[in-house]
Amino acid sequence: MRLHLPRAFAVSASALLITCSLTAANVDARTAHAARMAAAHAKASTAALYPRFDVDVFARGTASLFNPDGIVVTKHAVFVDYQNASDTSPTPSTIVKYDLGGHFEGAVNINGRCDGLRLNPYTHKLWALVNNDGLNGSPPRQPALYVIDPKSLQATRYAFATSTQQHGGGYDDLAFIGGKAFFSASAPTLTLGGINNKQIAVEADIKGDKVEVAPIAYGNLGGLVNIADPDSLAVDNAHDLIIVSEGDGQLVTIRNPQTKYQTQSSIHTGSQLDDVAFTTGTTGTLFVADSTLNRVYKIRSTFPAGTVFAEAPLGAPAQSFVGTLDTTTGIVTPLLTVRDGILDPTSLIFVADGGGEDDS
């Protein structure tokens, strides 16, 4: 199904920041009218300054597949993590494999709430993290890593080497740089003063049937900044590790991670963000999971060179949008909002033209 949006229209950033909550039922009813308003407003904007979008629904969940989150796009398939009811009950998440046209090809259940899903570019296997709140969750559950063959969908579970993690929580997202794997250390146990003096990111390594981790950065960043909610990870175009600290409204950059040249810095963003995506070139496709509407969008986009996309989910102070982020100033510009059918974006993946990760 194609959303009722004019093909490749330019959306002005002004007047598109929405802070009200809408239900799934009335979003579709307002989409056509909102699209006309956005298109009319776009005529007065400078098209070269803002991305242009063409939005389609790539896949829909079902009564038994819902709460989509993590997305991986390879040269041959698209994998979507459906968390189902695992957020509130000890039930499995489901990793669904689609072909590039959005047709179901297979699925595998993994025990726990899956919040991080990536393709390891060095082994060409999917890595999936479960139970990101760890023992801080309700009910408390052990975090674990699943390694999944993208062709057979066979999954192998790896427990962490210690039953209790040093930071008190679990692991939310993962990224791969220079042959190394990094996890964000989520749901940390803070001091009585609200300070996170624990790790915010770790290097992870599979040894035998266990996952061993080693801290690479800490939440107080040398006492200068407090990072209390490390969440999603990304890799920028300089191969730096980017940590989105959602609840703090901060973006942390770790340059040259786990080397003697490692440095780290942070900026405040204009909103609490959940995901960011760094682009190459000036055209590509964004895949966005909408948890509440149970959809995965495929958003074709044309944009200025160096654009960084970001999204904020339902419930954030400035909520329910896909937009751009200035990583120098931290300014966030919402571009697609509930007016355009985006209600609760929870995952954002960018694929350059001719891209898709190598799963061979």
Supply the range of the domain harboring residue 63: 9-352
**pLDDT greater than 50 at residue 36:** no
Q: What is the pLDDT of residue 16?
A: 35
Flag the least confident range among 189-193, 208-212, 221-225. Answer: 221-225
**pLDDT greater than 60 at residue 40:** no
Q: What is the pLDDT of residues 148-179, one digit of tens each?
A: 999 999 999 999 999 999 999 999 999 999 99
The predicted model gives 25-54 an average pLDDT of 51
Do the domain assignments include residue 4? Answer: no
Q: What is the pLDDT of residue 17?
A: 35
The predicted model gives 34-58 an average pLDDT of 61
The 8 Å CB, 24+ separation contacts for 177-180 are 177/235, 177/239, 177/241, 177/257, 178/239, 179/122, 180/257, 180/258
Do the domain assignments include residue 343? Answer: yes
**pLDDT greater than 50 at residue 1:** no
> Greater confidence, 40 or 95?
95
**pLDDT greater than 50 at residue 208:** yes
Q: What is the pLDDT of residue 168?
A: 95
Closest CA to 81 of 91, 90, 92, 70: 70
Highest-confidence range of 6-20, 21-35, 343-357, by mean pLDDT? 343-357
**pLDDT greater than 60 at residue 323:** yes
Do the domain assignments include residue 237? Answer: yes
Q: What is the pLDDT of residue 167?
A: 96
Could you give the C-alpha distances from 321 to 6, 67, 210, 346, in angstroms and in order?
A: 18, 17, 38, 10
Single-letter amino acid, residue 74? T
Do the domain assignments include residue 121? Answer: yes
Rounded CA-CA distance 140/168 in Å is 11
**3-state SS class at 194:** coil
Highest-confidence range of 116-120, 189-193, 336-340, by mean pLDDT? 116-120
Do the domain assignments include residue 359? Answer: no
Do the domain assignments include residue 323? Answer: yes
59: domain CATH number? 2.120.10.30
Give the model's confidence band at 222: pLDDT under 50 very low, under 70 low, under 90 confident, else very high.
low
**pLDDT greater than 70 at residue 288:** yes
Give the model's confidence band at 138: pLDDT under 50 very low, under 70 low, under 90 confident, else very high.
confident
Give percent of the chain with pLDDT exceeding 70. 86
What pTM value is reported for the model?
Answer: 0.87
Closest CA to 67 of 115, 131, 129: 115
Q: What is the pLDDT of residue 355?
A: 86
Closest CA to 131 of 171, 184, 85: 171
Do the domain assignments include residue 50? Answer: yes
> Greater confidence, 10 or 360?
360
> How many domains is the chain built from?
1
Do the domain assignments include residue 213? Answer: yes
Angle formed at CA 186 by CA 181 and CA 187, multiple of 5 degrees: 160
**pLDDT greater than 70 at residue 117:** yes
Q: What is the pLDDT of residue 42?
A: 41
Token pair of 245, please?
């600290």
Give percent of the chain with pLDDT exceeding 90. 74
